[in-house]
Amino acid sequence: MSRKAKRVQEKVRKKFLYKIIVVAILVWLAFLILKYAPNYVNTDITNKANLVINNSNVTGDLKKDVIIENGVIYVSMEDIENFFDPYIYYDEKYNQIITTSENQVTSMVIGENTMVNNGTRVQTSGTVIERDDTYYIPFSSFKDTYNVEISYIESTNTITVDSKDRRYVLADSAKNSNVKAYPTTFSRTVDKIEEKETVTIVQNDEGKNNVVNGWVEVRTDTGKLGYVKENTLGDEYVVRETIENKKQIDGKISMVWDYYSEYYSAPDRSGENIQGINVVSPTFFTLVDEGKGQIYDNAGEAGKQYVDWAHSNGYMVWPSISNNSYIETTAEIMRDYNLRQDLIENIVSLIVQYDLDGINIDFEYMHDEDRDLFSRFIIELKPRLNELGAVLSVDVTAPDGSEEWSLCFDRHVLGDVADYLAFMAYDQHGNSSAVPGTNAGYDWVKMNIEKFIGQEDVEPEKIILGIPFYTRLWEENNGTLEKYTVDMEDIEEVIPEGATRTWDDNLKQYYVEFVEDGITNKIWIEDAESIKAKISLVSEYNLAGAAYWAKDREPASIWPVISEALGVE
């Protein structure tokens, strides 16, 4: 091959390589553009006020724009519901907004420049306003209600809201830095920070710095969120740690209701120790019929001694407040916010007066149309008890029953709000039953626990399983049916000697049938085996614990069984 031909060939080869290199560079640039171009798209919302809640910009999720007028920040009721209070409520009777938080109940009449916080009236900088059929709350006046810090940054038209019960960390920048929209150098700059400028470190769900590949997320003093290299920040300093709500009781709850009627004084338990329990619920209180929120106090001096006895033995005291099945009195209170507040104030006073650790609400037999209003009562009661460090438990029946005894409870809301729901898992065949049957069969109890967790969407850790210390004797005689309550400790006296006991593995109970004087007697026995079987459901479903109705109806031998089953000394 001639020199000229070689030169031509070399020129062609170089030209080909050049094209390959150009194509490769173009492909690489296209790759970089496709990969990083989205990082440079400006997604800032600039035509309205931005709302940043706990270092998350939620402006795009707002249902209504935030309004700022005369220095007051207004947030729509719908957005308050979404971000701060799922149970915010418009009370038509008194034309007011009612909102609750961890420790506060706040009511604000439409158009008035005052609010009532936990019973105390205070002045506000704004009032609830209505625009386009939407209520707007003067959010800047609700810092104490929602336990938050609120700041308005005029330069960026941004509102920052920080919860005071969450971890809050600051750091000073060690150098001038660009704050990037994403954790990469190839990203849009959203803000700039100078050396020694302080930034807020964004925390993740575990309460740790939100760090991605060496980039840490921060919030600047203009309210902008973005990322800087972790090594460009100086020492961190923690302003506050997360406030953890500690449970009053570690481990399983084991509660016994201690019943006595309003005609007697509280029982004298001095010198007595009950194995296997950590909570007592004496029946200290009942509603006063037609009392508009008044409570009949049957504790008195004997009750104070009872509380002293319980505390000296290490038991928590959660007395029950019963509505005594006063259906119309209950309805009157539930349907009136002011009466509900009167009842709540009376409960708070009793907790303080008797040094109580909690309250057990035992309202039974209510109109089903008052279902949501009973939930309102619990929603409004809970913050006041939180303020005192007192536990709120609510007694409920099995789902899917009658209107006045079962459908009157919204178990999902009650379970969400209250500390515990006590499922009264008995009277499967009660005094109104037309056919004889067990009082609390294992299969029925288990089925209803699954309804609570599934159908009613109640967290299992909030369910206290109520277990009966009694059963019923059924007498059939020529088509008539009589039934009699029999305490556990008296069962052996009812069953004749030699009567055959048949184990029912579905019910986890012994069944006895015998004939006396031509009358057929039937009884489903509650004993150590049946109680142990039901208590096993506590661990199987990870329930909060168990409760027993009622003290002094049981044989003493049952307490070691309960103690071992629940691990409560």
Reference 255, options 109, 128, 359; nearest CA is: 359
Q: What pLDDT digit, counting tens, does each position of 453-476 carry? A: 999 999 999 999 999 999 999 999
Reference 102, options 146, 133, 54, 150; nearest CA is: 146
Reference 234, options 280, 170, 322, 279; nearest CA is: 170
Q: What is the reported pLDDT for 296? A: 97
Q: What is the reported pLDDT for 100? A: 97
Q: Could you write out the DSSP letters of every residue in 363-431?
A: --S--GGGHHHHHHHHHHHHHHHHHHT-EEEEEE--SS--TTTTTT--HHHHHHHSSEEEEE---TT-T
CATH of 253-469+526-566, one of 3.20.20.80, 3.40.50.620, 3.40.50.150, 3.30.2350.10: 3.20.20.80
Residue 198 CA, distance from chain mean position: 36
Q: What is the reported pLDDT for 23? A: 62
Q: Which residues pair with 214 in a beta bridge?
A: none
Q: Which residues contact 101 (CB under 8 A, 6 or more apart)?
A: 84, 85, 145, 146, 147, 383
Q: What are the φ and ψ backbone dihedral angles of 547, each rounded to 5 degrees?
A: -140, 160
Q: Any idea what DSSP says for residue 272? A: -
Judged by DSSP in three states, 156 sits in: coil
Torsional sign, CA 393, 399, 404, 410:
positive
Cα gap 412→394, rounded to integer Å:
12
Long-range CB contacts (within 8 A, 24+) of 210-214: 212/183, 213/183, 213/184, 214/183
- Omega before 550 within 30 of 0, i.e. cis: yes
Torsional sign, CA 526, 527, 533, 534:
positive
Place of tokens 């296209």: 30
CATH of 50-151, one of 3.20.20.150, 3.30.457.10, 3.20.20.70, 3.40.50.720: 3.30.457.10
Secondary structure element (H or E) that encloses residue 452, with its range: helix 442-453
Which tokens hold the place of 67?
């309004």
Strand order in the sheet with 501-504: 480-487, 470-477, 519-524, 509-516, 501-504
Amino acid at position 250, single letter:
D
Cα gap 261→238, rounded to integer Å:
54
Cα gap 74→47, rounded to integer Å:
17
Q: What are the φ and ψ backbone dihedral angles of 409, each rounded to 5 degrees?
A: -115, 130
Which tokens hold the place of 40?
């440079």
Q: Could you write out the DSSP letters of every residue in 184-241?
A: SSSS-EEEEE-TT-EEEEPB-TTSSB-EETTEEEEE-TTS-EEEEEGGGEEEEEEEE-
Q: What is the reported pLDDT for 21? A: 76
Q: What are the φ and ψ backbone dihedral angles of 549, each rounded to 5 degrees?
A: -110, 115
Mean pLDDT in runs of 10 for the chain (569 residues)?
62 69 64 62 88 97 96 97 98 97 96 95 94 95 95 96 96 96 94 96 92 96 96 94 91 97 94 97 98 97 98 98 98 98 98 98 98 98 97 97 96 98 97 96 98 98 98 96 98 96 98 96 98 98 98 98 97
Cα gap 236→351, rounded to integer Å:
43
Q: What is the reported pLDDT for 25? A: 73
Cα gap 339→288, rounded to integer Å:
13
Give the domain ranges of the chain.
50-151, 166-240, 253-469+526-566
Q: What is the reported pLDDT for 230? A: 94
Which tokens hold the place of 215?
């980039």
- Within 10 angstroms of residue 242's Cβ, the number of other Cβ atoms is 11
CATH no., domain 166-240: 2.30.30.40
Crossing angle (nearest 10°) for helices 442-453 and 528-540: 20
Q: What are the φ and ψ backbone dihedral angles of 288, each rounded to 5 degrees?
A: -85, 125
Which tokens hold the place of 231?
């090594």
Q: Any idea what DSSP says for residue 497? A: T
